[in-house]
Amino acid sequence: MFDSEATGSGGAEGSLRPVLRGALHLLSGQSVRLISQSLYLVLLTRSLGADSYSKVTALLALFVSIYPFTCLGTPLLVLRGVARSPEQRARHWGAGLAITVTLGLLASLLLAFVAPRLLGIDFPRLPLFLFATAELVGFGVIQVLNGVQQGEERLGRVAVILALLSVLRLGIMAAVQFVAGLDLARFSYAYFAGSMLTLTWALAVYARHWGRPVLPRRIAELRAIARDGIHVSLAASGRSLLLGLDKMMLPALFGLTAAAQYGAAMRVVMFAFIPLQSLLVALLPRLFQEGGRSLKDGLQIWRRTAPLGMAYALSVALLIFLAAPLIQTVLGPEFTEVADVLRRGVWLLILLALYQPLGDALTGADFFAYRSFSLIVAVACNFGLNAWLIPRHGWRGALLAAYASNLLLLALYALRVRKNARQAHEA
């Protein structure tokens, strides 16, 4: 169904039709994922309740924030490597596999002991270890495999894997809820099972055609990966923290009830961003294949796709604003403030549609350090504002911090673009 889209590069000046076709293939699978995750959200909010759901949300935000460091950015590095030197595929994905499994297991074990104290929540230790392993190892290796597929511009295969992951998690959790009822422990076991079954399937169906992975054997190889990976990890972790730090801080600073309202609403906003994310994923191989081209070439692609992204963000934000009371009803009776959170927070979609593509253009032009720096500054701003505003205003303070820090990040990216344009003009 999705395997026919292996696309070629064409440069910034070429047609974007292959990119858009790849994005549509990916969106087809992402639509299945969106439906599954929407049902998954309703199942969790209604079965776990607000307090337990807020614990899951806080832990997921923590996992997502540290994940880039447990894989050292290898999914993106694998994508770049396969896009530029496909004959070295076994070496690229072998390095990603070794790093992700080793660091992911170590981090999962550590989190099983320190995460509850760090977040101010209680959570059973073994289920927490399996929950972390599912995200940092299971999903981490899945993303390495997807990096290979993206580098080959086979986005349909990426969509199949991610859709299967969502469907399996939903199906297993629904079965557990029907048979015994979901609690935090059973949720973790079901989450782990869904991740590992998906990984096993992806390895059996796709990776068996790639040959045996070549693992790094020299320190120099690992050092080279780490050098680039640290930049990628800082940027990815900063991006995740910018989107998830508020969810981690709310339970400790204002309580589980406010965290649950805010977490559920922001989950809806992130669901709405999935179609735009599909387009950004489709653009990445093109940006890397251009390699030594200037930032100007990446910005040409951004300018050509920006009207589509902004039209989508504006229309969907308005739709969610109008449908917010209905969404609140669907989530369950405990979520009494979700409509208010949605109506105030949905406009973050517009900022995401502006700064995420700009950040990818900077990455494609090898501005790794500047993107990392910008994200670190934005995260520091977000943390400081959250610490100040959440104790006084709850989730409203978290939203104010989110808008301010996202606007700051957009401004920093725009400053780099403007400086680059001025330097090019002077040259």
Q: Going residue by residue through the chain, which has 427 residues, state the pLDDT in tens, using 9 for 90 and above.
A: 444 444 444 444 456 677 777 778 788 877 888 788 888 888 998 899 888 988 998 899 899 888 888 998 899 888 888 877 788 888 888 888 999 999 999 999 999 999 999 988 899 999 999 999 999 999 999 999 999 988 888 888 888 898 899 999 999 999 999 999 999 999 999 999 999 999 999 998 887 777 788 887 777 777 778 877 888 888 888 888 898 888 889 988 888 888 888 988 998 998 899 888 888 888 888 777 664 566 777 787 778 778 888 999 999 999 999 999 998 888 888 888 999 999 999 999 999 999 988 888 888 787 888 999 999 999 999 999 999 999 999 999 999 999 999 999 999 999 998 888 787 767 6
Extract the tokens encoding 361.
């253009």
| Residue 199 resides in a domain | yes
What is d(CA 346, CA 161) in angstroms, rounded to the nearest whole number?
28
DSSP code string of 327-370: HHHHH-TT--SHHHHHHHHTTHHHHHHHHHHHHHHHHHTT-HHH
DSSP class of residue 88 equals: G
CA distances from 350 to 30, 128, 317, 339 (A): 20, 35, 8, 19
Q: What is the pLDDT of residue 320?
A: 95
| Residue 1 resides in a domain | no
| Residue 83 resides in a domain | yes
Based on the structure, what is the number of domains in the chain? 1
| Residue 418 resides in a domain | yes
Distant-in-sequence, close-in-space partners of 287: CB < 8 Å, separation ≥ 6: 298, 301, 360, 361, 363, 364, 365
What is d(CA 190, CA 56) in angstroms, rounded to the nearest whole number?
13
pTM to 2 decimal places: 0.75
**Domain boundaries, position 41:** 17-426
| Residue 253 resides in a domain | yes
| Residue 372 resides in a domain | yes
What is d(CA 35, CA 163) in angstroms, rounded to the nearest whole number?
10
DSSP code string of 196-257: HHHHHHHHHHTGGGS-S-----SHHHHHHHHHHHHHHHHHHHHHHHHHHHHHHHHHHHH-HH
Q: What is the pLDDT of residue 107?
A: 97
| Residue 157 resides in a domain | yes
Specify burial of residue 204 (Cβ count, 10 A radius: 0-12, 13-18, 19+): exposed
What is d(CA 46, CA 335) in angstroms, rounded to the nearest whole number?
10
Specify burial of residue 213 (Cβ count, 10 A radius: 0-12, 13-18, 19+): middle
**Torsion, Cα of 24, 26, 28, 30 (10° steps):** -130
What is d(CA 5, CA 21) in angstroms, rounded to the nearest whole number?
7
Q: What is the pLDDT of residue 299?
A: 80
Extract the tokens encoding 185.
């422990």
Q: What is the pLDDT of residue 139?
A: 95
What is d(CA 130, CA 192) in angstroms, rounded to the nearest whole number?
6
What is d(CA 174, CA 186) in angstroms, rounded to the nearest whole number?
11
| Residue 58 resides in a domain | yes
